[in-house]
Amino acid sequence: MVIDFSNYYDLPRNMDSFFEELWRPSTLSQRRISYPPVNISESEEEIVVMSEIPGMDTGDIELTLNEKSLVIRGTKKNEVGNYYRQERPTGSFQRIVNLNVSVRAEAIKASMKDGVLRVVLPKARESHPLTISIDAQ
Amino acid sequence: MTSEMEKKTAPALPRFRPNTDVLEREDGFHIFVDMPGVAKDGLSIDLRDNELEIRGKAVYPREENAKVLHVEFGDGEYVRTFTISDGVDREGIRASLKKGLLELFLPKAARFKPRRIEIQAG
């Protein structure tokens, strides 16, 4: 084998990565179990879903809006060659994001930059917060 | 440990070991590193002696006036080191970053390339 990986025998670095695991940021809602990882944020006007899907063409990612859920689906291809190490996930993946409000399907915008998918889902008018004025008597 | 100095000087971004594939093809070695959110100017690749170190910073803009409902990834620095042997032609190492995927190509040194051996007719 022509390339060695220091990680196999480099104890100090192993210790480093062990501690890194321990001090993982606690702000993360859950560990990376499902693929791809998603972030969801909400403002008064819209819901924004971000997802890390590196190395994918936009044409290979399928976004489907069902009633009250957004489905991110796709297939990651294997590279051609003789693998020495394989850590990147391959095969098909699917992630379902539940939406607790209704959104305007025709106004959804999706974009991809540096392997990060960003879907902006504008909320339907009826789910905007409504201020009710109180009449003084 | 190796990076204590850096940790003191730089603001602490959480460090991640990016997922990496290493493959051999006829022309050489191909290394694929998942670095979502890393743009070209956030990436550094250094070759020191036998160590090829890759660092990529992913910093996401804050969503304004939005409250966060669910978080599974965030700002961070991807760091990974590879040890390269003499079988690699160092001058020929190429890197490209596309769609959050870093591809490194390490060509084999000429003497390690497969070649056909001529048979002398006698």
pLDDT digits (tens, 9 = 90+) for A23-64: 555 555 545 568 899 999 998 889 999 999 999 988 889 999
Residues in chain B with CB shorter than 8 Å from the CB of A17 are 17
- Which one of B34, B63, B108 has the shortest CB-CB distance to A54? B34
Size of interface A-B (CB pairs under 8 A): 156
Q: DSSP strand E in chain B: where?
A: 15-16, 20-25, 28-34, 38-48, 51-58, 67-70, 76-83, 94-98, 101-107
**Residue A90 CB neighbour total at 10 angstroms:** 12
C-alpha distances in Å from residue A28, one per residue of A33, A38, B71, B78: 12, 11, 5, 17
Q: Using alpha carbons only, give the angle A37, A39, A40 rounded to the nearest 5 degrees.
A: 140
Residues in chain B with CB shorter than 8 Å from the CB of A84 are 22-24
Span A91-123, pLDDT tens digits: 999 999 998 888 998 999 999 999 999 999 999
pLDDT-derived band at A7, boundaries 50, 70, 90: very low
Token pair 């294997």 is found at: A78
- How much is the pLDDT for A58? 85
- How much is the pLDDT for A10? 53
Q: Which helix (H) or strand (E) holds A41?
A: strand A38-42
- Going by C-alpha positions, the residue among A96, A94, A117, A1 that lies closest to residue B37 is A117
Residues in chain A with CB shorter than 8 Å from the CB of B104 are none
- How much is the pLDDT for A33? 66
Per-residue pLDDT of chain B (122 residues; tens, 9 = 90+): 445 544 455 567 888 899 999 999 988 999 999 999 999 999 999 998 889 999 999 998 887 788 888 888 889 999 999 998 888 888 999 999 999 999 999 998 887 777 788 888 87
Between CA A11 and CA A5 the distance in angstroms is 12
- Preferred mutation among B1, B29, B30, B69 to probe A, highest tally of A CBs within 10 A: B69
Residues 64-83 of B with CB under 8 A from A: 64-74, 81-83
pLDDT value at A8 more than 80: no
Q: Comparing A2 with B33, which gets the higher pLDDT?
A: B33
Residues in chain A with CB shorter than 8 Å from the CB of B3 are 16
Between CA B8 and CA A67 the distance in angstroms is 49
- Preferred mutation among B4, B22, B102 to probe A, highest tally of A CBs within 10 A: B22
- Which one of B2, B23, B100 has the shortest CB-CB distance to A84? B23
The nearest CA of chain A is from the CA of B122 a distance in Å of 36
Question: In the β-sheet with A46-52, what is the strand arrangement from edge to edge?
Answer: A109-113, A116-122, A46-52, A38-42, B67-70
Span A11-25, pLDDT tens digits: 555 555 555 555 555
Residue of chain B whose alpha carbon sits nearest to that of A43: B66
pLDDT-derived band at A4, boundaries 50, 70, 90: very low
Q: Using alpha carbons only, give the angle A71, A73, A79 rounded to the nearest 5 degrees.
A: 160
CB A1 within 8 A of CB B83: no
